[in-house]
Chain A
Amino acid sequence: MTFEPRIVGFLCNWCSYAGADLAGVSRISYPPNIRIIRLMCSGRLDPVIILETLAGGADGVIVMGCHPGDCHYVEGNLQAERKIRMLKKLIARTGLEPERLRLEWVSASEGGRFAELVKDFTSQLKKLGQSPLAEEKPDTKILAGVLAAKATAADFRLRVLVGKEKGLIEDANVYGEKVPEEELDKTMEEAIDAEYLRNRIYLMTKDEPLSVKELSKRLDLDPKAVLRHIVVMRRRGLVAIDRVEGTTPFYTALKVE
């Protein structure tokens, strides 16, 4: 039997869902691999939900919203775009293919485009193969990565950066300065890196106390960098020293309220 990818589609009510309706009304056929979930706006989609879906074994997730300028809620679709951009960077770090997540604009009159996109995504995923997180044999390493990513996406820092991205670029920060887009991109990149690793560390140390050396081995990361994260995490009250073996402290995750 050939591999049939399972796709979850999150569609905005006003344009894309209507576009999918029109594909049906026009009897345009497309692969039956997509399962559609209706949202009021593509901007509604919390990154955590997408990561949850991927962790749940979806072979692909496609988010569809109104074309820029068409959003029923002014610019929720652009917010979605920012989130997806961040998510793709995050996913890239987990070992899961970021191509499993797509964002597309489909208007209410683009039944053909909807079908075309589903067709295209399905064949793209067929080439990519089954998700390593699909039920039968989830790749534990990648799963750990995705779960860390999920935790990262739920964290304050990235969310605030994404949420304020538009304001920072277009208006100004509290000091009345506009932040150049490239600069913000760099900040974002660094934040993704840092927060993702911290969450990895947190999840690892939740299972068992680990030393910097061990963490560095498992994360394939310079011990110095690991230690820097540990320091930050200790300050935030995320990890504490469980025990010291010889001169080596072992860290363990703290429960967070």
Chain B
Amino acid sequence: MERAEEETPRIGVFVCHCGINIGGVVNVPKVVEYAKTLPNVVYAEDNLYTCSSEGLSKIKEGIGKYNLNRVVVASCTPRTHEPLFRATCEETGVNKYLFEMANIREHCSWAHMHEPEKATEKAKDIIRIAVAKARLIQPQKEPEIDVTPSALVIGGGVAGMTAALSLAEQGFRVHIIEKEPELGGTLRHLHKLYPTMQDASDALNQIIKAVESNKNIEVSTSTTIKEVKGFIGNFEATVQKVNGEAANLRVGTIIVATGADIFEPIGMYGYKEYGNVITQLQLEQLLKDGQLKKWERVIMIQCVGSREEKGRTYCSRICCMTALKNAVLIKELLPDTDVYILFRDLQTYGGRYEDYHRMAQDRGIKFIKYLQEKPPTVVSAENGKLTVNVYHALLGEQVTISGDLVVLSTPLTQHENAKELSQFLKVPLGSDGFFFEAHVKLRPIDFATDGIFVCGTAHSPKDTAESVSQALGVASRAAIPMAVKRLRTEAITAMVNENLCSGCGTCVKLCPYGAIEKDAKGVARVTEVMCKGCGVCGASCPEKAISMRHFTDEQVTAQALAALGRLTA
């Protein structure tokens, strides 16, 4: 029923009084009369409130009566009201992109309420600009794509498995691929989990059992990604087993849950030089194996390889709590052992971790704050002991501790092969090496590329509870396109005129969404479903080969000239 684009524009202009918000300043009847004089305007009227149900039916009436194929409403800001008027147009069979709005309230009557005459003139101009555009706009279609209702989860740690379980419970097929021979990720190496002190392997076994028994989940271990093609709803991933066996997976969404590595502090504080300098990870293993010795003193050093001035500048979030937990565990088993924690700032945040800190204080664990510029030193002493010298910042004194064991708290770091994965998926890594989300605040687990998501420590260091929360979050984000099955995507997208394109690749580089690539012919091709319509490519195309739907150069130029009074029939 939509009106064809070849028709001569027949524009109707509806000018709103907005009570007296507009009408009290702008001479609305005069403006209506003016609107009638503009080219292609076949009808104009004023309404008390165009957005009221009465006003909306007047639009519908006008469309029918005057056979309008373009509608201009001169009222308030399109940012709030455009959808309403567009919907009204669509109800009458006018494509919603054939609607244009003139903002004569926020930008005119309210801003110039003490200059009614000038405001009236400005309102005329604003309507002229809108009409200039309305003459040139075309109906647009929002492309639709089908979504394959299955997800690929890359990484079989607690985050990946949690996301997979939730998606499976929501009824979607999930493929987990894990590069190691078994599921579990980092948790496999841990003893107990703070703050509940639950046994890590017990918890892990439960989750693995749930994953393995879920008929919607398919697990491939010792498997890595080789290639990823396609876009949201229609990804095609090539995966390969260690034995070389390859397979193709067609999925609608992809979840990156690849976890993190733990930094090995070679060359720091005597690590690998003295046998009794170990990392928290090694301590976890000793605790797990029940290999504690009757140490007189254990000294833990925080921020080893994190919060550095250059390099790993970030705080690894979990090390303070890990140290507290392991210190408490040592104290439980060896009450006479003195445990020192040499820290910079204690990251005992949130609702529970302060209490945990207090528990450690209760047990007599000793805390010494050191300064980044005066880090502790560890030297070997006689009889196998270690001497730790540290400047106690809060006393302003040098303190010497003789200990049997020094435990270094080292940060989580990104895997070495993450770069490769980021290139396969065309998703970015941040300067800290972790995967970089679409928006730090409001799209924390999405990538800018639709259909790909991130959770767990692949995103940034976090503990189990936080990884689980994020994994569940991702299970929702990824489920949305799969639940709706068909996606409508942005209609305001870029179009490439292949004849003009020289294949210079400027647009490919500029597109923040990876929506443009060079095709076999060497010319730019827009994947419409990935395009968000910002228009940066068009404005920069050296050959002016790219145009933006609904915001063409012609339309914008016409508006600009109309603003200067130049609008000719």
List CB contacts (< 8 Å) of A14-55 with chain B.
17-18, 20-25, 27-30, 32, 35-41, 43-49, 52-53
Q: B563: which A residues are within 8 A, CB to CB?
A: 6, 8, 35, 37, 53, 58
Proximity string of chain B (410-454) to chain A, C-beta cutoff 8 Å, 1 when within and 0 when not: 000000000000000000000000000000000000001000000
Q: B106: which A residues are within 8 A, CB to CB?
A: 20-25
Proximity string of chain B (226-240) to chain A, C-beta cutoff 8 Å, 1 when within and 0 when not: 000000000000000
Instruction: State whether the Cβ of A162 lies closer than 8 Å to any Cβ in chain B.
Output: yes
Instruction: State whether the Cβ of A13 lies closer than 8 Å to any Cβ in chain B.
Output: yes
Most chain A CB inside 10 Å of its own CB: which residue of B115, B121, B509, B536: B536
Q: Which of B502, B539, B553, B566 contacts A56 (CB 8 A)?
A: B566
B535 adjacent to A28 (CB under 8 Å): no
Q: A47: which B residues are within 8 A, CB to CB?
A: 539
Q: In the bound complex, what is the Cα–Cα distance between A33 and B176 (angstroms)? A: 60
Q: A28: which B residues are within 8 A, CB to CB?
A: 111
Proximity string of chain B (507-526) to chain A, C-beta cutoff 8 Å, 1 when within and 0 when not: 10110100000000000000
A160 adjacent to B557 (CB under 8 Å): no
Q: How large is the interface on A (under 10, 10 to 19, 20 to 34, 35 or more residues)?
A: 35 or more
The total of chain B residues at the interface (CB under 8 A) is 55
Q: Which of B108, B532, B540 contacts A162 (CB 8 A)?
A: B540
Q: In the bound complex, what is the Cα–Cα distance between A74 and B542 (angstroms)? A: 21
Instruction: State whether the Cβ of B77 lies closer than 8 Å to any Cβ in chain A.
Output: yes
List CB contacts (< 8 Å) of A34-90 with chain B.
35-41, 43-49, 52-53, 56-58, 72-76, 79-80, 83
Q: Which of A20, A52, A83 contacts B539 (CB 8 A)?
A: A83
Q: In the bound complex, what is the Cα–Cα distance between A83 and B542 (angstroms)? A: 12
Instruction: State whether the Cβ of A167 lies closer than 8 Å to any Cβ in chain B.
Output: yes
Q: Closest approach, in angstroms, between the C-beta of B84 and any C-beta of chain A?
A: 16
Q: Closest approach, in angstroms, between the C-beta of A148 and any C-beta of chain B?
A: 17
Instruction: State whether the Cβ of B559 lies closer than 8 Å to any Cβ in chain A.
Output: yes
B78 adjacent to A38 (CB under 8 Å): yes
Q: A157: which B residues are within 8 A, CB to CB?
A: 542
Q: In the bound complex, what is the Cα–Cα distance between A29 and B114 (angstroms)? A: 8
Q: B20: which A residues are within 8 A, CB to CB?
A: none
Q: Closest approach, in angstroms, between the C-beta of B450 and any C-beta of chain A?
A: 14
B110 adjacent to A159 (CB under 8 Å): no
Question: CB-nearest residue of chain B relative to A73?
Answer: B534
Q: Which of A10, A13, A115 contacts B79 (CB 8 A)?
A: A13
Q: In the bound complex, what is the Cα–Cα distance between A162 and B539 (angstroms)? A: 10
Q: Which of B109, B112, B536 contacts A73 (CB 8 A)?
A: B536
Q: A10: which B residues are within 8 A, CB to CB?
A: 556, 560
A46 adjacent to B111 (CB under 8 Å): no
Instruction: State whether the Cβ of B262 lies closer than 8 Å to any Cβ in chain A.
Output: no
Instruction: State whether the Cβ of A237 lies closer than 8 Å to any Cβ in chain B.
Output: no
A79 adjacent to B542 (CB under 8 Å): no
Instruction: State whether the Cβ of B504 lies closer than 8 Å to any Cβ in chain A.
Output: yes
Instruction: State whether the Cβ of A228 lies closer than 8 Å to any Cβ in chain B.
Output: no
List CB contacts (< 8 Å) of B43-101 with chain A.
77-79
Known: A24-B110, A30-B111, A79-B536. A73 touches B506 (CB 8 A): no
Q: B560: which A residues are within 8 A, CB to CB?
A: 8, 10, 37, 49, 52-53, 56, 58
A-B contact pairs, 11 of them (CB 8 A): A27-B113, A29-B114, A32-B111, A56-B561, A74-B512, A76-B535, A76-B536, A79-B510, A154-B544, A157-B542, A163-B510
Residues of A participating in the B interface, judged by any CB pair closer than 8 Å: 6, 8, 10, 13, 17-18, 20-25, 27-30, 32, 35-41, 43-49, 52-53, 56-58, 72-76, 79-80, 83, 115, 135, 154-157, 159-160, 162-164, 166-167
Closest 7 CB pairs of A and B: A44-B535, A24-B106, A73-B534, A163-B506, A24-B110, A35-B563, A159-B542
